[in-house]
């Protein structure tokens, strides 16, 4: 906090988020070092937590004053100009409580089960980071490092997941505050429009209440933008360095943040050039970019050492590789995620933008229109939009929309700026409000559908029913009661969702390079491979993976091994793998369907997409 006070003065909220940023960098970097040194033990993490608490108590008065000043700024900007202040406060509090209730439920999202929470559990069980040749295990991991102390505090996997979700919800609230403070710096006159659009965007309230890393990434991006804006008040070059440091920390969470680097560099240059000569400006910009690179670098360096590619599994043609089989897996993943630069892919991108329920096209319409036609300001939002989408398309022409969420909240600033520009032009204002109100109505409708199961859980606490969308949860729970706590388990499942199997794990699904399945020619060979890795149990389900790389070899090996003298079947259990209603079912509701068609609406709200599967637990028999 003291460093932030020296760098940023006379702004309560900016001082607060600057201190939060510096603390995040120190804690994230420290935990990274501890994971590399294999020092993640209860005693070490307890010391880290105690030190954080002691320092927090030491700075409590300063933090309280900054909080008080920051929230006063927000109140004066968001609520004070309006007449019905009490009503607005009640609505805001209800929205906040809604997000908290969504977050205060067990984690069950696919990516959380696959790697966000699963990797944190893997780090805890192995007392540090162990290189895994899995696609999902080698992304930037500041999310896992920063929140590892919180994850550690939970008494079981359910509690750990809830704790992380509540932290994510906190970041959700901090992010909307950041956006409001940025809106204030560019003189947006209707911040409530921004506030409600943010809260009722399906992708945002979903990501803000699940164990995902998108909201935290957005928070550090918006912190950087706020610090860049602060430069115009104080002309302090330190704010530029902190802004790029914040972007660097976001780069330590997601590769896609690289699409913001050109925009941030341009803003840093324009800001500094207004107060410095050319040479000094270039030096400061290069220094800030170095700061950004240094903070993001740990995971990129680690990937380069382990895999020969700092951004693995992307850009495979630019870097050498060490292992043919792992490279083949990365190529398959990269093909699906990256796509190709052709007309078919571009048309597909447009089609997805029009039919995606997480950010309905009416929301994107406001953002893109605002980026093009909104008034010019020091953020240069139009350039930011152009740079982001251009870099995104160059790097990932498939443009999967869940990556677009990184820019979307910032684009809302442009969307609301546009309203300020046209509010006195009656016809344009009417068109704008029709689109805006349609967006809000869609957001409310989807929020009701999405929230139903979460609120039902708060009333009945029926974990079995709540977890029906979490693949293999019941089978994992059964296995946890059978497998010895010191055992190591090989897991082969579609979707790689292994979080709730509470043992040391090796993942060997088609997205993993752990086992070269085509090279396995006999049961004896496979047995000794398992023995060398001290694997004593295998949990597998082979349904819904026949389209993936080497799936035939996986099925062949497991079918032979499960009937051999080297294994003993502990249990087999039928499973129903439900596909989330939120994205897949809502396509039918939003993609050009008639909302008054009651049969379609009923099918959307109550029907489930499902896959029949069988879960098998094998014990590896010592020979």
**Domain shared by 403 and 505, yes or no:** no
Quick one: CA dihedral 315, 390, 297, 222, positive or negative?
A: negative
Q: Report the C-alpha dihedral over residues 148, 153, 156, 158, rounded to 10 degrees.
A: -70
Peptide bond into 411 cis (omega under 30): no
State pLDDT tens for residues 193-249.
999 999 999 999 999 999 999 999 999 999 999 999 887 666 678 889 999 999 999
In a domain, 333, yes or no: no
In a domain, 194, yes or no: yes
Q: What is the pLDDT of residue 316?
A: 83
CA–CA dist 419, 330 (Å, integer): 45
**Domain shared by 226 and 370, yes or no:** yes
Asked if 537 and 617 count as a contact pair (C-beta separation under 8 A), the reply is yes
In a domain, 187, yes or no: yes
In a domain, 451, yes or no: no
**Whether residue 465 has pLDDT greater than 70:** yes
- Tokens 């062949």 belong to residue: 556
**Domain shared by 154 and 44, yes or no:** yes
Find the distance separating the first CA and the last CA of the chain, reported in whole Å. Answer: 60
In a domain, 87, yes or no: yes
Neighbours of 87 (CB within 10 A): 10
**Domain shared by 24 and 130, yes or no:** yes
- pTM comes to 0.91
**Domain shared by 302 and 393, yes or no:** yes
Q: What is the pLDDT of residue 505?
A: 92
**Whether residue 275 has pLDDT greater than 80:** no
Q: Report the C-alpha dihedral over residues 370, 376, 377, 380, rounded to 10 degrees.
A: 70
Q: Which of 398, 422, 446 is the last residue of a domain?
A: 422
In a domain, 435, yes or no: no
**Domain shared by 416 and 508, yes or no:** no
Domain that holds residue 587: 471-620
**Read out DSSP for 292-332?**
HHHHHHHHHHHHHHHHS-TTTTS-GGGS--S-HHHHHHHHH
**Domain shared by 238 and 382, yes or no:** yes
In a domain, 394, yes or no: yes
**Is residue 488 helix, strand or coil?**
strand
**Whether residue 399 has pLDDT greater than 90:** no
CA–CA dist 250, 297 (Å, integer): 11
**Domain shared by 366 and 489, yes or no:** no
**Domain shared by 200 and 289, yes or no:** yes
Beta bridge partners of 507: 491
Higher-confidence position of 95 and 594: 95
**Domain shared by 484 and 418, yes or no:** no
State pLDDT tens for residues 154-197.
889 999 999 999 999 999 999 999 999 999 988 889 999 999 99
Neighbours of 550 (CB within 10 A): 19
In this structure, are strands 504-507 and 488-492 parallel, antiparallel, or unpaired? Answer: parallel
Domains: count for the chain: 2
In a domain, 324, yes or no: no
Length of the chain: 623
**Domain shared by 398 and 478, yes or no:** no
Measured between alpha carbons, how far is residue 493 from residues 273, 509, 514, 517 in Å? 55, 6, 14, 15
Q: Count Cα atoms within 13 angstroms, Cβ side, for 315.
A: 15
Q: What's the mean pLDDT in 28-41?
A: 93
**Domain shared by 506 and 392, yes or no:** no
């Amino acid at each position: 906090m003291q460093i932030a006070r020296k760098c940023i003065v006379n702004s309560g909220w900016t001082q607060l988020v600057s201190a939060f940023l510096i603390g995040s960098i120190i804690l994230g970097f420290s935990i990274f070092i501890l994971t590399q040194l294999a020092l993640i033990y209860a005693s070490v993490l307890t010391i880290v937590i105690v030190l954080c608490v002691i320092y927090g108590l030491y700075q409590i008065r300063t933090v309280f004053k900054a909080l008080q000043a920051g929230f006063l700024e927000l109140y004066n900007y968001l609520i004070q100009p309006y007449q019905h202040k009490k009503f607005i406060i009640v609505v805001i509090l209800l929205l906040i409580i809604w997000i908290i209730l969504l977050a205060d439920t067990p984690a069950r999202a696919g990516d959380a089960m696959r790697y966000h929470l699963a990797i944190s559990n893997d780090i805890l069980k192995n007392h540090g980071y162990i290189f895994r040749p899995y696609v999902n295990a080698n992304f930037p991991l500041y999310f896992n490092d920063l929140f590892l102390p919180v994850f550690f505090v939970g008494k079981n996997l359910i509690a750990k997941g809830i704790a992380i979700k509540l932290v994510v919800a906190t970041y959700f609230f901090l992010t909307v505050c950041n956006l409001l403070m940025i809106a204030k710096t560019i003189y947006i006159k209707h911040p409530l429009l921004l506030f409600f659009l943010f809260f009722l965007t399906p992708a945002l309230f979903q990501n803000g209440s699940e164990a995902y890393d998108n909201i935290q990434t957005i928070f550090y991006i918006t912190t950087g933008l706020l610090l860049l804006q602060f430069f115009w008040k104080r002309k302090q070059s330190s704010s530029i360095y902190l802004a790029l440091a914040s972007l660097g920390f976001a780069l330590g969470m997601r590769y896609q943040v690289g699409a913001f680097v050109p925009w941030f560099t341009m803003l840093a240059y324009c800001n500094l050039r207004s107060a410095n000569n050319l040479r000094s400006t270039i030096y400061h910009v290069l220094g800030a970019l170095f700061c950004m690179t240094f903070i993001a670098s740990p995971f990129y360096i680690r990937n380069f050492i382990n895999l020969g590619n700092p951004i693995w599994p992307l850009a495979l043609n630019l870097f050498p590789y060490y292992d043919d089989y792992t490279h083949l897996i990365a190529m398959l993943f990269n093909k699906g995620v990256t796509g190709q630069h052709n007309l078919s892919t571009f048309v597909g991108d447009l089609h997805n933008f029009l039919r995606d329920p997480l950010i309905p096209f009416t929301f994107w319409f406001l953002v893109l229109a605002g980026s093009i036609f909104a008034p010019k300001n020091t953020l240069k939002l139009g350039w930011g939009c152009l740079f982001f989408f251009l870099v995104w398309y160059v790097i990932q022409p498939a443009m999967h929309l869940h990556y677009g969420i990184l820019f979307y909240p910032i684009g809302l600033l442009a969307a609301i700026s546009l309203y300020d520009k046209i509010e006195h032009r009656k016809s344009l204002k009417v068109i704008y409000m029709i689109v805006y109100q349609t967006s809000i109505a869609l957001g409310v409708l989807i929020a009701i559908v999405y929230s139903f199961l979460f609120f039902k859980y708060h009333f009945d606490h029926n974990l079995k029913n709540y977890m029906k969308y979490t693949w293999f949860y019941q089978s994992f729970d059964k296995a946890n009661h059978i497998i010895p706590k010191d055992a190591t388990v090989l897991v082969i499942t579609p979707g790689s969702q292994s979080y709730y199997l509470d043992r040391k794990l090796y993942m060997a699904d088609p997205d993993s390079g752990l086992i070269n399945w085509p090279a396995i020619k006999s049961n004896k060979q496979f047995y000794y491979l398992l023995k060398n890795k001290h694997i004593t149990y295998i949990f597998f389900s082979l349904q819904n993976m026949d389209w993936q790389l080497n799936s035939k070899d996986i099925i062949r090996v497991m079918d032979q091994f499960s009937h051999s003298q080297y294994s003993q079947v502990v249990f087999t259990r039928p499973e129903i793998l439900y596909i989330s209603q939120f994205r897949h079912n809502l396509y039918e509701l939003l993609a050009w369907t008639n909302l008054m068609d009651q049969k379609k609406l009923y099918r959307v709200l109550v029907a489930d997409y499902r896959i029949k599967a069988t879960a098998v637990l094998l014990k590896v028999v010592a020979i």
